[in-house]
Amino acid sequence: MITFMNNSDSEEEPCNERTSLMSAESPPVPSYQDGLQALEAGEVQAHRKRRAGSSRGPNNIAGGEMSGSSVPVRESALENEEEELTLKYGAKHVIMLFVPVTLCMIVVVATIKSVRFYTEKNGQLIYTPFSEDTPSVGQRLLNSVLNTIIMISVIIVMTVFLVLLYKYRCYKFIHGWLILSSLMLLFLFTYIYLGEVLKTYNVAMDYPTLFLVIWNFGAVGMICIHWKGPLQLQQAYLIMISALMALVFIKYLPEWSAWVILGAISIYDLMAVLCPKGPLRMLVETAQERNEPIFPALIYSSAMMWTVGMAKPDTAARGPSQQTWDAAEDGREHHRSPSHADSQMSETRSPVPTRPVTSLEELEEEERGVKLGLGDFIFYSVLVGKAAATASGDWNTTLACFVAILIGLCLTLLLLAVFKKALPALPISITFGLIFYFSTDNLVRPFMDTLASHQLYI
Amino acid sequence: PAFGLFLFTIARDPLRIIILIAGAFFWLVSLLLSSLIWFIAVKASDPRDERLQKGLLIFGVMFSVLLQEAFRFLYYKLLRKAIEGLVALSEDGCSPISIQQMAYVAGVGFGLMSGAFSMINLLADALGPGTVGIHGDSQLYFLTSAFMTMVLIFLHTFWGILFFHGCEHRRWWEIAAVVVMHLTVSGLSFCNPLYVGSLVPSYMLMAAAAAWAYLLSGGSAQNLRRFLLCKS
């Protein structure tokens, strides 16, 4: 261990976590390492920051959205090292998040543009009871605001319920809830989606084939998400269910309500994560007090923490579960830093130093990932999808919203690097997205149309 | 071609992707502001007066060009600050990305965004049924639009390099030249649909800008010859 610590800089990070935990059992160490370990102990605490996301259930069947926030994972003990590595890897993390968000948006936009089903209005969810077909503008506005209030209160109730469940250690209930909701999502919505896509392209498929396909898809998805699986497959599944969820929202939320809800949710996210009395924050603190990982949550992880999980099967700490939504649930996600898991594992294995060293070593390489809640994915995609569906400027507006959301994500990650604690990912991006949507639709579109008709170039 | 540029040169390095997206964002904001101004002007004026509308449009275009260059300058300032931050935080004291690379990426960002906005609705319409130029307009509408867009994207890239170089070395005439070129190209597009008037000079300007940017970036005729003849 001592040799490990004297290794080059790049390995300093890995050993920091481990050494801090192993120092508890080892004999007194020289002052240099003491200092380091003190810092590391602080680091371990710092790593327990999580971001909680809240999920809401606005679906007529079961719906929950998670809004989460991303959390950086850092391992370095020394402050400036941390800064450097943060920024050095910062760009890579941002890209690691850009890609899935982009993919999700592309899937949603492609579906919206091609499949008619998702732009037809076939009724509303029970969570948005007020219709928007009223003749007057004021009435419509009022209805959308009321819808929003109902939705947000449902979300708040769900979130508080989940916090209570967590506080009183009803883990089985939560697990069951998560599994049920992801089951429903994977099977039912995929079936509907596949049906619609096949209808659009006029491709015939018989029921046995369909059953086989959906069964395989769903089963592999459940395993991948709730248990263990290759990282990329897991990421792909997460993206797909986020896209499905977003499509459902786009279909079932009436126009103005959707925009108002987007705005309200980003405000709620901001408050829930940052206010001291916010439910998300309470959840995070409770988990920190208990020194345990927050229950399996719905997050998108860009780091390969789960591959190490396979080497250590008895970790209670791992248990990623995807649960996007559930009618009656308001799941919160918490992003745990993988280092937390590592520290736990190394605690249990401190008598056997050799094995954790090597496996954690591999882990260290990829641990520096960033996590983003699936609710964020969903809402970003809802924004872009709605822009694609309803804007008359079509692709310009969609593109503008897309760039705005990416820039918002960038800024959020930058703030994350500066503040080093859990942050809500929704507000900045959604604000930018909304601003750009409305301004592009109303201001830029006539300008560009006129330019294009005269074939002028600016 | 612009997309190929993106793939080969930018997609590898995440920092460049971020700079690209930020560049696109800045262009978008400039477009937003300029269309705001145009919109206000149009609303405040008489919609039936054809000449006035045309004049307003021209005014809008010029103003937009000026705004774009202004935002390019702002972006330059931001990148300067960012590069200082990167240098301070990097391990070996030099920034992972040079200002010239940033200039290139920023130019591509601007270009891609402007190209996308110019072309994408066209492309979407092109997928659908229809005949080009059925009302007596030119039949080459799509082709010329495509070429014009491409030349504009490349021009933005080169202007980015020239502009940043001018700002770095405090050569105001370079910056002024970029602005003038941009105005010229936009003005030339007023000649449409007389395509000879707009496309050919634009391409010539692009070649000139390309050569200039190449020389500024440290290339020379010898380098070019060596590269083309695949000498070591």
Which pLDDT belongs to residue A180?
83
CB atoms within 10 A of CB A173: 14
Query: Which residue out of B42, B117, B154 would a mutagenesis test of the A interface target, given it has the greatest number of A Cβ atoms within 10 Å?
Result: B117
Arithmetic mean of pLDDT, A390-410: 81
User: pLDDT higher for B151 or B216?
Assistant: B151
Which pLDDT belongs to residue B39?
81
User: pLDDT higher for B212 or A66?
Assistant: B212
Which pLDDT belongs to residue A249?
83
User: Do the Cβ atoms of A95 and B144 come within 8 Å?
Assistant: no
- Lowest average pLDDT, out of A25-39, A105-119, A212-226, goes to A25-39
For the stretch A175-230, pLDDT in tens is 787 788 888 877 888 888 888 888 888 888 888 888 888 888 888 888 877 776 78
Confidence grade of residue A231 (pLDDT, cut at 50, 70, 90): confident
Confidence grade of residue A311 (pLDDT, cut at 50, 70, 90): very low
Task: Go through chain A and tell me how many residues it has.
Answer: 458
Which pLDDT belongs to residue B231?
56
Which pLDDT belongs to residue A316?
30
B33/B39 Cα distance (integer angstroms): 10
DSSP string, A133-146: --SSHHHHHHHHHH
The interface predicted TM-score (ipTM) is: 0.79
Arithmetic mean of pLDDT, A15-37: 40
Confidence grade of residue A253 (pLDDT, cut at 50, 70, 90): confident
Q: Which of residues 89-128 of A touch B (CB under 8 A)?
A: 91-92, 94-95, 98
For the stretch B33-60, pLDDT in tens is 888 888 887 777 766 667 777 777 777 7
Q: Nearest by CB to A395, from B85, B120, B193: name it.
A: B120
Helix ranges, A115-206 (H): 137-167, 171-184, 190-201
Which pLDDT belongs to residue A322?
29
SS (H, E, C) B208-225: HHHHHHHHHCCCCHHHHH
DSSP for residue A329? B
Quick check: is A206 in a domain? yes
Annotated catalytic residue: which of A326, A330, A376, A441?
A: A376
B184 touches chain A (CB under 8 A): no
Q: Supply φ then ψ for residue A433, to 5 degrees.
A: -60, -45
Per-residue burial over B146-170, b = 16 or more CB atoms within 10 Å of its CB, e = otherwise:
bbbbbbbbbbbbbbbbbbbbbbeee
Q: Supply φ then ψ for residue A135, to 5 degrees.
A: -70, -35
- Lowest average pLDDT, out of A233-247, A312-326, A344-358, goes to A312-326
A370/A415 Cα distance (integer angstroms): 13
B55 touches chain A (CB under 8 A): no
- Lowest average pLDDT, out of A225-239, B13-27, B84-98, B163-177, goes to B84-98
Percentage of chain A modeled with pLDDT above 70: 56
Which pLDDT belongs to residue B10?
63
How many independent structural domains does chain A possess? 1
Which pLDDT belongs to residue A221?
82
Which pLDDT belongs to residue A341?
35
Q: Supply φ then ψ for residue A334, to 5 degrees.
A: -130, 140
Q: Which domain holds residue A293?
A: 92-302
Confidence grade of residue B123 (pLDDT, cut at 50, 70, 90): low
For the stretch B159-179, pLDDT in tens is 777 777 777 777 777 777 777
Which pLDDT belongs to residue B201?
72
For the stretch A48-101, pLDDT in tens is 333 333 333 333 333 333 333 443 333 333 445 555 555 555 667 777 788 888
Annotated catalytic residue: which of A269, A326, A330, A441?
A: A269
For the stretch A139-152, pLDDT in tens is 888 888 888 888 88
Which pLDDT belongs to residue A333?
32
B65 touches chain A (CB under 8 A): yes
- Lowest average pLDDT, out of A159-168, A207-216, B221-230, goes to B221-230
User: In Å, what is the CA distance from B180 to each residue of A173, A335, B163, B225?
Assistant: 68, 52, 12, 31
- The answer to whether A376 is a known catalytic residue is yes
Quick check: is A249 in a domain? yes
A454 touches chain B (CB under 8 A): yes
DSSP string, A230-265: -HHHHHHHHHHHHHHHHHHHHHHS-HHHHHHHHHHH
Mean pLDDT score of chain B: 72
Are A9 and A77 in contact by the 8 Å Cβ rule? The answer is no
Q: Which amino acid is at A74?
A: R
User: pLDDT higher for B94 or B227?
Assistant: B227
- The answer to whether A206 is a known catalytic residue is no
**Has residue B219 got a pLDDT over 70?**
no
- Lowest average pLDDT, out of A42-56, B31-45, B206-220, goes to A42-56
Contacts of B14 in chain A (CB under 8 A): 91-92, 94-95
Residues 6+ apart with CB under 8 A from A266: A379, A424, A426, A427, A430, A431
For the stretch A264-296, pLDDT in tens is 888 888 888 777 777 777 776 776 677 665 544
Q: Where are the domains of chain B?
A: 1-229
Quick check: is A102 in a domain? yes
Tell me whether strands A332-334 and A370-373 are parallel, antiparallel or unpaired: unpaired
Which pLDDT belongs to residue A141?
84
Percentage of chain A modeled with pLDDT above 90: 0
First-residue to last-residue Cα distance in chain A: 63
Quick check: is A129 in a domain? yes
User: Do the Cβ atoms of A455 and B117 come within 8 Å?
Assistant: no
Confidence grade of residue B230 (pLDDT, cut at 50, 70, 90): low
Instruction: Classify the phi-psi angles of A329: left when phi > 0, otherwise alpha if psi is within -120 to 50, otherwise beta.
Output: beta
Arithmetic mean of pLDDT, A340-366: 39
Quick check: is A314 in a domain? no
**Has residue A404 got a pLDDT over 80?**
yes
**Has residue A323 got a pLDDT over 60?**
no
Which pLDDT belongs to residue B138?
56
**Has residue B205 got a pLDDT over 80?**
no
